[in-house]
Amino acid sequence: MAIGKSGRIVLEIDAEDKEALHREIKKRGLTMKEWFLEKVEQDFPELAKKKKKKG
């Protein structure tokens, strides 16, 4: 998988799984991006701390 510098993350998953994931995330009142960033912060809190220091 290529790693670029664009700031975008591209994943290929089954279309049905993608639709189900979007539905469940929407039920929580989140966008895919918000959900993903929450998960990153939960799993990698040191990355979130670095981001907060910069901003």
Annotated domain spans of the chain: 15-54
Model confidence pTM above 0.85: no
Of 14, 15, 7, nearest to 36 (Cα)?
A: 7
Q: What is the pLDDT of residues 24-52, one digit of tens each?
A: 999 999 999 999 999 999 999 988 777 67
Q: Which helix (H) or strand (E) holds 41?
A: helix 32-43
Q: Which CB contacts under 8 angstroms, 24+ apart, belong to 1-10?
A: 9/36
Q: What is the pLDDT of residue 1?
A: 62
